[in-house]
Amino acid sequence: MLSICDGETLSSALRSDINHQIKHLLRQRSQQLGGIDDQVHFAIVERGDTPTDLEQTIGFSIFHNPADGSRLGDPEFTPGWEWIADHGFAYELCFIFDDSGFAHVVIVPKDERINSDLTSFCKQYAAELA
C-alpha cells in the first residue's frame, strides 16, 4: 500500500515506479488542492494488498458506511464515499467524514494483480453511477 499524506511522501511517490497515469492523477489533485499537506491522505492499493491492509492504512473499511452503519451485503447498503470515479486505468474513491474537508482518497488500479474483492466492489458501484 502506498500511503501519501504530505508533500514529502507525494514527491517520493512521483519518483517511484507506480503507473504513470496514477502519477498524473496525483499531480493533478495536488495542483487542484494547492498542495496536499493537512488536506488529503491518498492510499494507492498495490499488488498483494488486501481489504484489511487498506483498512489499516486509512483507518476504516470501505465496505462499511459509517453514516448509517450498513455493510456490504446488507440489503440497504450504500457506500460511504462522497464519490467514485472510473478513470479507465484506476478507480478513485473520495471519503470526507466531517466539516473540516479533510479527505481520504483511495486509488484502486485496474490490474488483474490487484485484490479482486476491491476491484469488483469498485467496478460494481462505479458502473451504477455511469
pLDDT over threshold 60, residue 130: no
Backbone torsion region of residue 65, taken as left when φ is above 0, otherwise alpha when ψ lies between -120 and 50, otherwise beta: beta
Nearest by Cα to 107 from 94, 124, 125:
94
Give residue-wise pLDDT tens across range 85-126: 999 999 999 999 887 778 999 999 999 999 999 999 999 999
Domain count for the chain: 1
Q: Which helix (H) or strand (E) holds 24?
A: helix 20-33
H or E element, residue 52: helix 51-58
Q: Which structural domain, as residue segments, surrounds residue 29?
A: 2-129
The residue with greater pLDDT, 2 or 99, is 2
Give the pLDDT confidence of 33-63 residue by residue, as tens digits: 887 777 899 999 999 999 999 999 999 999 9
